[in-house]
Amino acid sequence: MNKFAILGYNTINIGDDVQSFITSTLLHVDYIILRDDYDIVYNFKTGEKCILNENVFLIMNGWFMHNSNWKTGNNNIKFPIKNKFITPIYISTCLSKDVPLLFTPECIDHYNKHSPILCRDNTTLEILKKKGVNSSFFGCITQLLDFDKVPNNEEYKDIYNNSVIYIDCKNLYNRRDKNEKAFYFEHYDNNLMKLNPKQRIDVAIDLYSKYKYASKIYSARLHAFLPCRAMGLNVTYVGDLNYRVKDLVTKHPDKENIRNGFFKYIEEKTL
């Protein structure tokens, strides 16, 4: 049986972990592998660090790479993946156009080896095509979250039912109707740095167990907007329309088509 891994994070952004949570609702996951150091591995079930000594397919959905190592050209860079047990599957992948080290000859050879690359945004797609890499537009895995994959919580239902939730849009929250039953959330939290990747995913799940009861949601965070829309919630995106975002929020996706494409690609890559 194939073994799958998802990306883990040590950032202050819970949106990173939201992507991994949603991937875990689509596949049976055994491991979490740190995005910024592929030799750091956790058991998905227990959250404990472990040694990887079997072959795994790592789902590479996410934004690469906005950590300081890439920007400074640090010689300890772990990318592209060199762990012999890891086979990357590049689906829903965004490669930062502002990080030249993502497009070195070594990286291009790596992408070609693991192509086709299914891109999260058209900017990544255009760069890879110009580099001769077989690639196509896929969109974001977070557009595949189903309502019933988020746990019910009666306590949260009592608190958040028929509420209006604002996510990282403080100005809009401050201008709200004061008679609203309103709640404000931020997806950037320094306390996340104290948690292991499994605990962070649990925090992400807990957030959506609150969001699912709202009657209206306003979000400036892509990975709050996309999953809420996928769940069928009444959500409006109020954030920036930068290159990582614009291809995903301006058009309503065909969820079933994306889902079919996901499983077809996974099947092809794991044969």
- Domain boundaries defined on the chain: 4-142+254-269, 144-249
Confidence of residue 238 (pLDDT cuts 50, 70, 90): very high
Is the pLDDT confidence value at 21 over 50?
Answer: yes
Is the pLDDT confidence value at 98 over 90?
Answer: no
Among 20-29, 70-79, 214-223, the minimum mean pLDDT is found in: 70-79
- CA separation for the pair 154, 33 (Å, rounded): 33
What pLDDT was estimated at residue 204?
98
Tell me the pLDDT of the chain averaged across its residues: 93
- CA separation for the pair 1, 18 (Å, rounded): 26
- CA separation for the pair 125, 117 (Å, rounded): 8
Is the pLDDT confidence value at 158 over 90?
Answer: yes
Is the pLDDT confidence value at 104 over 80?
Answer: yes
- CA separation for the pair 222, 236 (Å, rounded): 10
What pLDDT was estimated at residue 79?
78
What pLDDT was estimated at residue 74?
47
CB 20 within 8 A of CB 74: no
Q: Cβ contacts of residue 246 below 8 Å, gap of 6+?
A: 121
CB 164 within 8 A of CB 176: yes
What pLDDT was estimated at residue 55?
97
**Residue 223, CB half-sphere, CA atoms under 13 Å: how many?**
26
The answer, as to whether pTM is greater than 0.85, is yes
Mean pLDDT of 151-158: 98
What pLDDT was estimated at residue 209?
98
Mean pLDDT of 185-191: 97
CB 231 within 8 A of CB 146: yes
What pLDDT was estimated at residue 73?
45
**Residue 52, CB half-sphere, CA atoms under 13 Å: how many?**
24
- The DSSP bridge pattern shows strands 41-43 and 49-50 to be antiparallel
What pLDDT was estimated at residue 71?
44
Mean pLDDT of 55-60: 98
